Amino acid sequence: MTVFTALLAGLVLGLGLIVSGMSDPAKVLGFLDLGGAWDPSLAFVMGGAIAVGAIAFAVARKRTVSVLGAPMRLPASRDIDRRLVLGSVLFGIGWGIAGFCPGPALVALGMGEGKALVFVVAMLAGMGGFERLERRGQPAVADAS
């Protein structure tokens, strides 16, 4: 049942990304182009996602198990540290260069978008490099604490 639910959730997310235009790099780059022909439509998509997410997290905080019976594992730390800020900056730079973030890139890859393949390969290489550094006991991004 868990695998079916995950598949269904992924399909709904992918469909939502396609319908909202988040899987189209040109639309994303139009949103990020504040000095040119700015397209604010994705701001409404993100605002809606944040609202739904905020409600879901508020409900989840009150539960000890998920609807499917799995233990609830919410992030414990609320600290904004150097690693979080630098990771966010790197994410934003990658998003601005490519017009993709991970979810929409996977959707675009499934739709046969060639640029998405380059992005996903680079993303996986970056994730692998991060994991190797973490396993060595060296933080991938120096911690300020």
Q: What mean pLDDT do residues 58-65 have? A: 91
CB atoms within 10 A of CB 79: 8
**Per-residue pLDDT at 2 exceeds 90:** no
Q: Model pTM?
A: 0.72
Q: What are phi and psi of 70, to 5 degrees?
A: -80, 150
Q: What mean pLDDT do residues 73-83 have? A: 87
Q: What mean pLDDT do residues 8-27 have? A: 88
Please tell me the predicted confidence (pLDDT) of residue 139.
Answer: 63
Instruction: List the one residue out of 26, 28, 23, 30 whose CA is nearest residue 116.
Output: 23
